[in-house]
């Protein structure tokens, strides 16, 4: 596990904030996500910051992180784009991860958001289902 990551100009460092961030929340994952989103293999990640999106103890079923990203659509592009991701991760501390894994709860929640809610939205005339 990493500490809070601040990536700037290819140098990673650990911030003073106390948090536990999975090692897979890294430049490769961010770049691959941007490639899929923007349909371009030329994406250049300039900077990103991984930090907790919620307070400690807010979630039992997952750890949530906010990742603001600065990137360019190609190495020759001068304009820097901005995007922010919110990432839910299976907890890796204590017994939470093994219990959630055994119940298959993390997969079921993801399936609810990616498959069930979009279908319900279409049935309801493209009504957006979300917490209020």
Please write the tens of the pLDDT for every residue from 37-52: 999 999 999 999 999 9
CA-CA distance, 21 to 107, in Å (whole number)?
A: 20
CA-based end-to-end distance of the chain: 33
Q: What confidence tens digit (pLDDT) does each residue in 53-93 have?
A: 988 767 777 888 999 999 999 999 999 999 999 998 877 66
What pTM, to 2 d.p., does this model score? 0.69
CB proximity list for 41: less than 8 A, separation 6 or greater: 35
- Beta strands, E only, the chain: 5-8, 11-14, 44-52, 63-72, 81-89
Percent over 90 (pLDDT), the chain: 39
Q: Burial of 20 by CB count in 10 Å (0-12 exposed, 13-18 middle, 19+ buried)?
A: middle
Hey, which of 1-5, 28-32, 63-67, 120-124 has the most confident mean pLDDT?
28-32
């Amino acid at each position: 596990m990493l500490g809070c990551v601040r990536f700037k100009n290819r140098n990673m460092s650990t911030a003073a904030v106390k948090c536990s961030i999975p090692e897979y929340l890294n430049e490769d994952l961010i770049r691959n996500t941007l490639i899929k989103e923007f349909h371009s293999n030329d994406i250049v990640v300039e900077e990103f910051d991984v930090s907790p999106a919620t307070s400690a103890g807010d979630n039992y079923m997952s750890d949530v992180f906010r990742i603001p990203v600065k990137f360019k659509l190609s190495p020759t592009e001068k304009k820097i784009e901005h995007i922010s991701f919110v990432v839910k991760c299976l907890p890796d501390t204590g017994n939470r991860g093994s219990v959630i894994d055994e119940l298959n709860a993390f997969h079921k929640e993801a399936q609810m958001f990616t498959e069930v809610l979009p279908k319900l939205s279409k049935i309801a005339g493209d009504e957006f289902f979300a917490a209020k």
